[in-house]
Amino acid sequence: MTNHWVDLKNADYILIIGSNAAENHPASMTWIHKAMDERGAKLIVVDPRFTRTASQADIYAPIRSGTDIAFFGGLMKYIMDNELYHREYLASYTNAATLISPDFKGPADLDGLFSGYNPETHAYDRGSWSYQTGSEGEPQRDETLQAPNSVFQIARRHYARYDLDTVSEITGCPKDKLELVYKTYAESGAPEKTGTILYAMGQTQHTVGSQNVRCMAMIQLLLGNIGRPGGGVNALRGESNVQGSTDMALLADTIPAYMATPIAGKHPTFQTYLEVETPKTSYWTNKPKFLVSLLKAWWGEHATAANGFAYDYMPKVDGASNHYWMALFESMYAGTIKGCWIMGQNPALSGPNVRFEREALKKLDWMVVQEIVETETVGFWKAPGENPADIQTEVFVLPAADAMEKEGSIVTSGRLIQWRPKVANPSGQALADDQILNLIGRELQELYAAEPGDFADPILHLTWDYGAQMDIEKVAAEINGYYTTDNDEGKKGDVLVNFSKLKDDGTTACGNWLFSGYWYPVSDGEGNILPATKRRGQKDPGGLGMYPYWAFSWPVNRRIIYNRCSADLNGNPWAEDKALIWWNGEKWTGYDVPDFVATKAPDAPGGRDPFIMKPDGKGWIFGALNEGPLPEHYEPLETPVSTNAFSSQMHNPVIKIWKTNEGQDIGDNIGSPDKFPIVATTYRVCEHWQAGGMSRWLEWLTECQPEMFVELSNELAAEKGIENGEMVKVRSARGEIEGVAIVTARFRPFHVNGKVVHQIGLPWHFGWGGLATGDSANELTPHVGDGNTTIPEYKAFLVDVEKA
pLDDT, one tens digit per residue, over 5-22 is: 999 999 999 999 999 999
- pLDDT of 321 above 90: no
8 A C-beta contact, residue 780 and residue 797: yes
Q: Which residues contact 679 (CB under 8 A, 6 or more apart)?
A: 48, 64, 65, 66, 640, 757, 758, 759, 760, 796, 797, 798, 799
The stretch 72-85 carries a mean pLDDT of: 99
Angle at the Cα of 133 from the Cα atoms of 127 and 139, rounded to 5 degrees: 105
pLDDT of amino acid 466 = 93
May I ask the CATH architecture of the domain 678-803? Answer: Beta Barrel (2.40)
CA distances from 496 to 256, 296, 300, 517, 663 (A): 17, 14, 16, 6, 58
Element (H, E) at 176: helix 175-186
Q: For the segment 585-615, what is each residue's pLDDT rounded down to a tens digit?
A: 999 999 999 999 999 999 999 999 999 999 9
706, with CB counted inside 10 A (0-12, 13-18, 19+), is middle
Question: What is the three-class DSSP state of 61?
Answer: strand
pLDDT over 90 at 62, yes or no: yes
Residue 309, CB half-sphere, CA atoms under 13 Å: how many?
22
| pTM, two decimal places | 0.97
Distance (Å, rounded) from C-alpha 91 to C-alpha 151? 10
| Cα 50–Cα 54–Cα 59 angle in degrees, nearest 5 | 110
The residue-averaged pLDDT of 671-682 equals 98
Q: Can you name the residues that pair with 482 across neighbouring β-strands?
A: 495, 509
Residue 322 banded pLDDT, cuts 50, 70, 90: confident
Chain centre to alpha carbon of residue 628:
19
Backbone angles phi, psi at 43, to 5 degrees: -105, 125
In 18-126, where do the E strands start and end?
Answer: 42-46, 59-61, 117-118, 123-124
How many C-beta atoms lie closer than 10 Å to residue 125's C-beta? 11
pLDDT in tens, 702-725: 999 999 999 999 999 999 999 999
Boundaries of every domain in the chain: 678-803
φ and ψ at residue 702, rounded to 5 degrees: -65, -40
Residues with Cβ within 8 Å of residue 32, at least 6 apart in sequence = 8, 11, 14, 21, 41, 43, 56
Beta bridge partners of 84: none
Q: Which long-range contacts (CB under 8 A, 24 or more apart) does 691-694 make?
A: 691/345, 691/346, 691/349, 691/350, 691/375, 691/376, 691/764, 691/765, 691/767, 692/346, 692/349, 692/375, 692/765, 692/766, 692/767, 692/769, 692/770, 692/772, 693/346, 693/371, 693/372, 693/373, 693/375, 694/372
State the chain's mean pLDDT as an integer: 97
Q: CA angle, corner 500, sides to 496 and 502, nearest 5?
A: 65
Which element (helix H / strand E) includes 396? Answer: strand 394-399
Strands (E), 559-647: 581-583, 588-590
Sequence-ordered list of residues with C-beta below 8 angstroms from that of 447, at least 6 positions apart, any chain: none
- pLDDT over 90 percentage in the chain: 97
Tens-place pLDDT, residues 438-465? 999 999 999 999 998 899 999 999 999 9
